[in-house]
Amino acid sequence: MLVITIVNPFATAAGLLGNIISFLVVLAPVPTFYRIYKKKSTESFDSVPYVVALFSAMLWVFYGLLTLDVLLLTINTGACIIEMIYLTIYLIYASKKPRAFTLKLISLVNVGIYGSLVLFTTLFVKGKRRIDVTGWICASFAVSVFAAPLSIIRLVIRTKSVEYMPFSLSFFLTLSAVAWFSYGILLGDLFVALPNVVGFMFGIAQIIIYFMYVNSKKAETKPKLNAEAMPAAATLDSVVELPEKKGVPQPVVCEFTSVIEV
């Protein structure tokens, strides 16, 4: 199914909108990596979100190739390139221990697991069933990633501070979910549409929580989360440590929202 055709003008419009919004979200970590470049150090930033974001984009690229879906291919191919640039910068400036951990994680997730999935579906699953199996894998992974905001929502409620949840990121992720849901429905592709129902619900929940606590006057009891650590991709349960202060790193538990909403 070649998506960009006169037959699917509304689906094409939704997919193009999804591409634009998702691309902006993918670029959200740029300040973080500019900071890493300027300081020549990754400080205590975590590489896990970017590894998972790359894995997610790679899965959708494979699905896009199977379905000949041009708009899925464009955004996710672009996301793969950008995430690889992020990880390259991280590996250049990381100290020995986090560099070794990141290389092992990339080898396990982006080479081992991804390669095994592609090999299995290529050798043992034939015809349309290959598309269905790959679609279910992509959709299941996307749903698990979309569940990540539960932790940050709990954190905002507990601390009564929206510093942990930037409104702009929640807003654009919600718009992205709407665009990709519309795209999937208009094409009749439930593997694209269904995960974005979950993404939309969590996005709306974040926006509601934001307005509930945006004017809260409660004194802060926890260290402030660096807003630069919020992007990416992506996506996931991880512990992000703030830059060291007085020689003692300050860990903050945070779960990221996926940068790719399909």
Instruction: Output the DSSP codes for 148-207.
Output: THHHHHHHHHHHT-GGGS-HHHHHHHHHHHHHHHHHHHHHT-HHHHHHHHHHHHHHHHHH
In a domain, 249, yes or no: no
Would you say residue 80 lies in a domain?
A: yes
pLDDT band at 157 (very low <50, low <70, confident <90, very high): confident
Kindly report, residue by residue over 166-177, the tens digit of the pLDDT: 788 888 889 999
Whether 257 is in a domain gets the answer no
pLDDT-based confidence at residue 136 (cuts at 50, 70, 90): very high
Q: Does the residue 130 lie in any domain?
A: yes
User: CA triplet 118, 191, 25: central angle to 5 degrees?
Assistant: 85
Higher-scoring residue by pLDDT: 160, 129: 129
What's the domain range around 97? 7-219
Q: Please, what's the largest Cα pairwise distance for the chain?
A: 62
Domain count, the chain: 1
Please check whether residue 258 lies inside any domain of the structure.
no
- pLDDT more than 90, % of the chain: 55
Asked if residue 13 belongs to a domain, the reply is: yes
- pLDDT given for residue 44 in this prediction: 81
* Predicted TM-score (pTM) of this structure: 0.78
Residue 2 resides in a domain: no
Q: Residue 231 domain-assigned?
A: no
